[in-house]
Amino acid sequence: MVAIERLDLPNLKRLQAQGTTVETAIMTFPWHPTTGAYGEMHTTSLPNPITMTGNLFLRANQQMLQNQFPRNIDTAIATGSKAYDSISTGFEIANLLDTSDAELTDIILETLERHDPKFYRIQLQDVGRAGFKTINAPDGTPWQADIWHPESPYAKAAREADKQLGRFIAKMEELGRWDNTFFVFMTDGQSRHGWHVPMDEESWQTPMIFHGPGVKPEHTIPYAEIIDVVPTIASAIGVEPPNPGAGSGRVLSEIFVNARQTPPAPRRMLQLNKQNKEYLLLTAELRLLSVQDPRADNILMRERNARTDDTPPFLGIEQIDRWHEAGSFDDLLKRNQAALEYLRKQLTRFKANPFSTRSSEK
C-alpha cells in the first residue's frame, strides 16, 4: 500500500474510496523455482498458482477458479508475460504475451468489446519488470536497489499501470458492466530494494482492494491472505470454490455490507513465511560453521532425515509439492515449528561446545 500513498495513483485511490482495502495482505514466500517438482507443475512464481487455486497445497493438474465455470461461459486471461502459462489452462480466451502494459490493455479493451467474460484474470507486468531492473541495476546506478529514488523506473511504471487501470474501468463503465462487476486488485510483492526478494518481509505483502456489488465502501479490514481471494470471489459470484478443505482459505465475509462480525483471522501464512525465513537463516549459519567444524554438517543431515526423537524434517520452499503431506495448514506449522526448535537447540549446544582439533604431534 506504500506506493498508493507515495505516488499519484488516482485510479487506485478511487478504488479504495469506493471499496474495501486490506490493511495487511500476505502472500506466500515469492519463490520461483524453475526446476524440480514445483518447476514441473508451474511456470510462474509460487503466489500465482496459489492465488488461482485458493489453496496452499499445490498438486499437479489442480483445479483453478476458471475451471469452475460452465464451458459455454466466456472466461479470459491476459498477461504481459508468457510465464503465466501454467495458470492459464481452462480459460476460453487467452492472451499471454511478452508485451507492455499499454499494449496489453489495448488487447483487453478489444476483448471486452467482443466478449463479456464472466471471469477475467489480468496481469500487467511492467511494474515487476521495473522492480527487477532496479535491484539488478549496474553498480554506480543512482537508483540501484532503491525503488523510491527519484530516477528509479519503478515510479514511472506504477503510474503507467494506474493509467491502464483507469482505461479498463472507463471501458467497463462505457459498456455498462462496471457497477455489477466484482473486482479484486492485487500486485506482486515489492521490496523497497526492487522486485520480490524472498527474505525481505516487504515482499510478502501485496496491496489488496475489493470493489463491486455489496462491497463496503471506504472500508478497511486488518488482515487477509492470498488463499482467501478465490473463496471470496467464488462466494460473491455464486460458483463453487475449486479446492475447499485442507489448505484452503476463507471467505472474507467482513468486506460485504451487512456482514456479521467475524473473529480475528488466524495469521497462518505470515507464520509460515517467518518459519521459512528462520529455516534459511539457521541452515545458512550451520553451513558456514561446517567449514571449520564437521559436526554442523551432521546436524543438517540429521534434520533432513528421520531422527531418534521422531521429529519429521522441515517442509520448506524446496518441498512445496510436499506441503500437503502435513494434512492441514495448522499441522504444517506445528511440524515446521518442531524442526526449527530442533535446529535452534542443536545450534545452541554446538556453539556452547566448540570443536577443537587435537594435535597428533608428540
Residues 46 and 227: beta-carbon distance below 8 Å: no
Residue 47 has pLDDT above 80, yes or no: yes
User: What pLDDT, on a 0 to 100 scale, did the predictor assign at position 5?
Assistant: 81
pLDDT band at 265 (very low <50, low <70, confident <90, very high): confident
Highest mean predicted confidence (pLDDT) among 3-7, 221-225, 257-261: 221-225
Q: Residue range 243-247: average pLDDT? A: 95
Cβ neighbours, 10 Å, residue 94: 18
Q: What percent of the chain shows pLDDT beyond 70?
A: 96
Residue 357 pLDDT greater than 60, yes or no:
no
Looking at residue 361, what is its pLDDT?
Answer: 41
Structure confidence at residue 324 (pLDDT): 95
**Which set of grid coordinates corresponds to residue 169?**
474501468
DSSP helix, strand, coil percent of the chain (3-state; round to 5): 50, 10, 40
Non-local (6+) Cβ contacts of 176 within 8 A are none
Lowest-confidence segment of 31-40, 90-99, 306-315, 333-342 by average pLDDT: 306-315
Task: Give the model's pLDDT for residue 173.
Answer: 98
pLDDT over 60 (residue 358): no
Query: Looking at residues 316-344, what average pLDDT do you find?
Result: 94
Range name among 54-63, 145-154, 190-199, 336-345 with the lowest pLDDT average: 190-199
Report which of 228, 224, 213, 293 is spatially closest to residue 258, judged by C-alpha positions: 213
Residue 308 has pLDDT above 80, yes or no: no
Q: Cell for 170?
A: 472507463
Contacts of 255 (CB under 8 A, 6+ apart): 20, 210, 215, 216, 219, 221, 232
Distance (Å) of CA 133 to CA 96, 127, 143: 21, 10, 10
> Cα(45)–Cα(38) distance, rounded to whole angstroms?
10
Highest mean pLDDT among 129-138, 189-198, 346-355: 129-138
Beta bridge partners of 76: 93, 120
**pLDDT at position 359, please?**
41
Instruction: Answer whether residue 1 shows pLDDT above 90.
Output: no
70's grid cell: 460452465
Supply 115's cell numbers: 466478449
**Sign of the torsion formed by the C-alpha atoms of 184, 187, 188 and 192:** negative
Residue among 148, 155, 215, 142 at smallest CA distance from 185: 215
Residue 188 reports pLDDT greater than 90: no
- Lowest-pLDDT range, 61-65, 170-174, 269-273, 358-362? 358-362
Distance between CA atoms of 40 and 223, rounded to whole angstroms? 32
* pLDDT for res 356: 59
Q: Are 126 and 153 in contact, with CB atoms under 8 Å apart?
A: no
Does 269 score more than 70 pLDDT? yes
Give the mean pLDDT of the chain.
93
Q: Are strands 208-211 and 183-186 parallel, antiparallel or unpaired?
A: antiparallel
